[in-house]
């Protein structure tokens, strides 16, 4: 099976322009023109990293690696320091091993993905774009509209399903979300579909009743297919910065998250939060949104992500 990898470096680089300015420009301004890189400069550099949403833990590791490199290297140029920082950021993202998507899709049919997140994170558009990616790979996709709390949810998801050219299973507003999940899996089995994507209500992580509903959906999925869901992706709006970290913490208490989808990175300088969430929660980033078009949900490539920031 040849999986469609939606990746465009130029698009990624353009989408991360504000994050690049926040991180790289600030680093360069801190170290440029300094006669020597001493502890005072390193302290300033650490502050830059922390205020760029990279996080305390990762920032401390970067500074320590920089300190070690400066002791062992005769070359203490700006380029050398940037190289050390880049390498440490790649390490921060590379700590989570991801089983090849090729392997997982070949072993399960249908392959079931549960989408969770708060209102406004971009869940609906993300599902449409994700369905489009799989459709481009020649896979049969079925979407389940289990966000029955919002009256407009079905209509919005229907529009995106039409754009992606995939089927959607719906029920009336106010229906039991678990019943929609049940119907969707059974429909997918009958149609011999490859991929099932289940939408859930955008929920505040502080609303216990909705979080319990999420547990119920997972139980129902497991009754229809004992392995379902294969993946549970948390959608996070890149603009939320530190609040995105809080969402990852809280959702992890109620459901096992296998990946993150960070949206709207093209409109924010807070892309550094990707490193902080990954470092703290040990959850890999799977996709990132760098635009509003249906083609703009990119497969996450950690090395190219860092390269795009520092290019």
Three-state secondary structure string covering the chain: CCCCCCCCHHHHHHHCHHHHHHHHHHHHHHHCCCCCCCHHHHHHHHHHHHHCCCCHHHHHHHHHHHHHHHHHCCCCCHHHHHHHHHHHHHHHHCCCCCCCHHHHHHHCCCEEEEEEECCCCCHHHHHHHHHHHHHHCCCCEEEEEECCCCCCHHHHHHHHHHHHCCEEECCCCCCCHHHHHHHHHHHHHHHCCCEEEEEECCCCCCCHHHHHHHHHHHHHHHHHCCCCCCEEEEEEEHHHCHHHHHHHHHHHHHCCCCEEEEECHHHCCCCCHHHHHHHHHCCCEEEEECCCCCCCEEECCHHHHHHHHHC
Nearest-angstrom CA–CA distance, 68 and 70: 5
pLDDT, tens only, 118-127:
988 999 999 9
Residue 180, pLDDT score: 95
Q: What is the mean pLDDT of residues 248-272?
A: 90
Read off the pLDDT band of 41 (50, 70, 90): confident
- Which band of pLDDT confidence, cut at 50, 70 and 90, is reported for residue 1? very low
Among 66-70, 88-92, 164-168, the range with the most confident prediction by mean pLDDT is 164-168
Percent of the chain with pLDDT over 90: 53
Statement: residue 286 has pLDDT above 70: yes
Task: Report the C-alpha gap between 84 and 82 in whole angstroms.
Answer: 5
- State pTM to two decimals: 0.91
Does pLDDT of 99 surpass 60? Answer: no
Reported confidence tier of residue 72, pLDDT bands at 50, 70, 90: confident
Higher pLDDT, 212 or 18: 18
What is the overall mean pLDDT for the chain? Answer: 88
The answer on pLDDT for 225 being more than 80 is yes
Q: Give me the pLDDT at residue 203, please.
A: 63
Average pLDDT over residues 24-39: 84
Q: Residue 147 is encoded by which pair of tokens? A: 């966000």
The answer to whether residue 240 scores a pLDDT higher than 80 is: yes
Residue 112 binned pLDDT confidence (cut-offs 50, 70, 90): very high
Considering only 12-26, 102-116, 122-136, 288-302, which range has the smallest mean pLDDT?
102-116
**Tell me: the pLDDT tens digits for 163-206?**
999 999 999 888 999 999 999 999 999 999 999 999 987 766 55
pLDDT at 236 over 50: yes
């Amino acid at each position: 099976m040849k999986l469609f990898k939606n990746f465009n470096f130029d698009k990624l680089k353009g989408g991360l322009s504000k994050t690049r300015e926040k991180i790289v420009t600030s680093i360069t301004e801190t170290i440029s023109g300094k006669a020597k890189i001493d502890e005072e400069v390193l302290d300033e550099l650490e502050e830059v990293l922390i205020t760029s949403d990279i996080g305390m833990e990762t920032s401390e590791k970067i500074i320590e690696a920089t300190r070690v490199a400066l002791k062992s290297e005769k070359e203490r140029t700006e380029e050398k320091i940037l190289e050390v920082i880049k390498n440490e950021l790649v390490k921060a993202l590379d700590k989570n091993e991801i089983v090849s998507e090729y392997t997982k899709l070949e072993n399960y049919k249908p392959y079931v993905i549960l989408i969770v997140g708060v209102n406004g994170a971009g869940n609906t558009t993300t599902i449409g774009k994700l369905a489009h990616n799989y459709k481009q790979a020649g896979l049969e996709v079925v979407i389940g509209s289990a966000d029955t709390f919002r009256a407009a949810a079905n209509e919005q998801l229907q529009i995106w399903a039409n754009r992606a050219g995939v089927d959607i299973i719906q029920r009336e507003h106010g229906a039991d979300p678990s019943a929609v999940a049940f119907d969707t899996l059974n429909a997918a089995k009958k149609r011999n579909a490859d991929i099932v994507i289940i939408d859930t209500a955008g929920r505040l992580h502080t609303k216990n009743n909705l979080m319990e509903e999420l547990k119920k959906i997972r139980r129902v999925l497991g009754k229809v297919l004992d392995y379902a869901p294969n993946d549970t992706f948390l959608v996070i709006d890149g603009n939320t910065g530190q609040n995105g970290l809080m969402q990852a913490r809280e959702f992890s208490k109620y459901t096992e998250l296998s990946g993150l989808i960070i949206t709207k990175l093209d409109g924010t300088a807070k892309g550094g939060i990707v490193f902080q969430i990954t470092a703290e929660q040990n959850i890999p980033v799977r996709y990132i949104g760098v635009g509003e078009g249906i083609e703009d949900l990119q497969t996450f490539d950690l090395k190219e992500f860092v390269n795009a920031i520092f290019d």
